[in-house]
Amino acid sequence: MQSRSRTIVALFAVAALVGGVCFLTMRDNQVEQVVPQAAPLPTPTSQATLIKLKQLGARWKRNQHGQVNWLDLKHLPIADDDLVILQELPEVRFVHLRAIQRAKGNHFTNAGLRHLLCLKKLEALDLSANHHLTSECFETLKQLKGLKSLNLEYTSFAEADLPELCQLKSLEILHVPQLPLNGTTIGYFEQMPLRELWGISNRNSDYTFQFLPRLTHLEKLLFQADVYVKDTDLVYLRHLKKIKTLKVVLTKGFRDTSQLKQLQDLRELEYLSLGQKEVFVDSFDNSGLLALAKLPALKKIEAARVDDRYLEAISHCAQLTELDLTGYGNQITPEGLTCLKNMRSLKSIDLERPLARHKTFEALGQVPSLERIALSGWVWRYRGKSPPPVGNAPLFEMSSLKHLQQMPHLKELKLDYLDLTDEALKHIGECKTLEGLSLINSNITNAGLLQLRDLAHLKNLDLTGSKIDLEAAYQLHQFIPDCVIEDIWFAGGGKMPPFLTDLQEWKTFRRKLHYELD
């Protein structure tokens, strides 16, 4: 008897080890194996429901089980009753209802939102640009306890609605229409675990920034991309670990950049724009600029009012791949660009027209990692006149472009409004890796254009404003048929697309396009 008991116990142990695939029972002193029934497979969204969605004009995505879990109804003429279909979509997690239009003799109203309550797994809701929704909608919204993302941008949402909104204790991403962040509103916002808060009014930004540290979960900046932050306010942003783009104004100009050290905690910062109120030339503290070299994700810096000392400090950011130096008031000289040779990861650079000098291309030739150069420099303040001289650098010569051949990875080149001649095309034609070339308002001729015929990888060539005839462009097109050639051979502009191989066919196509434009 004891031996039989031990056997039964052993069998139970073996059953447990195999993960509960089966279980054992005793019946009439016999061991019987019982196999449990398999769990039912998830039911995919029915074809009838998908047809209804298509009739509404909806877009959707489905999960691995064929169930609709993402629904887009934005800009559609949806009425309240149309949302009854949500009862057939229990797996939906994301719903986009932006700018629902009034139609069908009915309106999309607060009552229509009650259909959302059947979506027990709803996580993200976009109600932006629905101006006709009122505060009554929060009677429904506050019941969506699982909501993590809510967009109320361009709605009638107001500060008085915050007590209702803060009942959403799982809300992580919130877009609001220009609300202040002050001593009153901060108490409501900090009741939610917000990682992103967008749309806060920046009219009193000096006052607003002081409240940011109270939003302990916040990871991203809450203003639009065109808002500049004073360097003295950077101390309030140190906990926003997920900031990827930031625009900063240096309140003391070149005299003191030390406040930029506050950015060292923003390990995911990728893009930084730097501006100044004035350019000071007496003393220079570059400690903050040197600190930027410690930001591992920083890839692009855009700077205004820059001089050579400023640029030299930036050049220590060896991790940068893009540098934009076209900001207003820059005072860089071609000699100052020699510091770029230290930036071995630099792939793209934008420069202004005054830097079109021989020494500039010589300096760029020392940066073999470059893949894109934009020296178009058509700055509105020149108003078609020649740019002022920069330093004592020699003027630009066509032969200066020979330094481009020192860049084995160069893919895009913009040399607009530089009065280039056929001699320039000779050197450009040696850059075999080029994929994009812009020569707007150049002085090249039909005869010189064929010097580009060996650019087998060229995908786009912009000759707008040049004196190139259509026949010459077509002739070049025969050598590089995959290239789109742009110019203004008739009013409205146009392109020679790669799929047209016959000149007469191309002319017919252009006449038809011209007729359609008229």
Q: Which DSSP string do the residues of 79-102 spell out, in sequence order?
A: -GGGGGGGGG-TT--EEE-TTPPP
Do residues 142 and 168 lie in contact, with contact meaning Cβ atoms separated by under 8 Å?
yes
Left (φ > 0), alpha (ψ -120 to 50) or beta: where does 186 sit? Answer: alpha
Number of residues that this document lists for the chain? 518
In whole angstroms, give the CA distance from residue 375 to residue 409.
17
- Residue 253: DSSP 8-state: G
Per-residue pLDDT at 34? 57
As a whole number of angstroms, the distance between CA 83 and CA 89 comes to 11
Q: Rounded to the nearest 5°, which phi and psi values hold at 245?
A: -130, 145
Conformational region of residue 108, where left means phi above 0, alpha means psi within -120 to 50, and beta covers everything else: beta
Coil, strand or helix: which one is 483?
A: coil
Instruction: Report the pLDDT value the prediction gives residue 228, as an integer from 0 to 100.
Output: 81
Which one-letter DSSP state was computed for residue 418?
A: S
Phi-psi region of 383 (alpha: psi -120 to 50; beta: other; left: phi over 0): left
Residue with tokens 């949302």: 83
Q: Do residues 115 and 87 touch, judged by C-beta distance below 8 A?
A: yes
Beta bridge partners of 324: 302, 350
**What's the pLDDT at 253?**
77
- pLDDT, residue 202, reads 64
| Structure tokens, 310 | 């400023």
pLDDT in tens, the chain (518 residues): 555 555 554 555 545 444 444 444 455 555 556 556 667 788 999 999 999 999 999 999 999 999 999 999 999 988 899 999 999 999 999 999 999 876 666 678 899 999 999 999 999 999 999 988 888 999 999 999 999 999 999 998 999 999 999 999 999 999 998 888 888 899 999 999 999 998 887 665 555 788 889 998 988 776 655 678 889 989 998 888 888 888 898 888 767 889 999 999 899 999 999 988 665 556 678 899 999 999 999 999 998 888 888 899 999 999 999 999 987 777 889 999 999 999 999 999 999 888 888 899 999 999 999 999 998 754 444 444 444 444 444 467 888 899 999 999 999 999 988 888 999 999 999 999 999 999 988 899 999 999 999 999 999 999 888 888 888 888 898 899 888 888 754 333 445 555 444 555 555 544 444 433 33
3-class secondary-structure state, position 365: coil
* Residue ranges of E strands in 86-148: 94-96, 124-126
Distance between CA atoms of 290 and 342, rounded to whole angstroms? 14
Residue 424 is predicted with a pLDDT of 92
Q: What is the pLDDT of residue 32?
A: 58
Cα gap 212→41, rounded to integer Å: 47
State the pLDDT at residue 330: 78
Q: Return the pLDDT at 19.
A: 47
Would you say 262 and 238 are in contact if contact means Cβ atoms under 8 Å apart?
yes
- Determine contact, residues 140/93, Cβ cutoff 8 Å: no
Sign of the dihedral through C-alpha 14, 17, 18, 21: positive
**Residue 277, CB-side half-sphere exposure with 13 Å CA sphere:** 10
| Residue 40 token pair | 């039912």
State the pLDDT at residue 381. 43
Strand partners, 232: none
